[in-house]
Amino acid sequence: MERFVLTDAQWAKMEPHCLGKPADPGRSGGDNRRFIEALLW
């Protein structure tokens, strides 16, 4: 069971503005949603 602070609709609006994607080299785009959720938590 995953619990999120952000709803899927809120995340859909924020996701295009996050830097890095899972396909980019390096660690910057591993899981942007998890990172934002951690900041909000």
Strand positions, DSSP E, the chain: none
* Predicted TM-score of the model (pTM): 0.65
Q: Is the pLDDT of residue 1 over 60?
A: no
Higher pLDDT, 17 or 30: 17
Residues 12-24: what's their mean pLDDT? 80
Is residue 26 very low, low, confident or very high in pLDDT (cuts 50, 70, 90)?
low
Q: Residue 18: what pLDDT? A: 84
| Percent of the chain clearing pLDDT 90 (strictly above) | 20
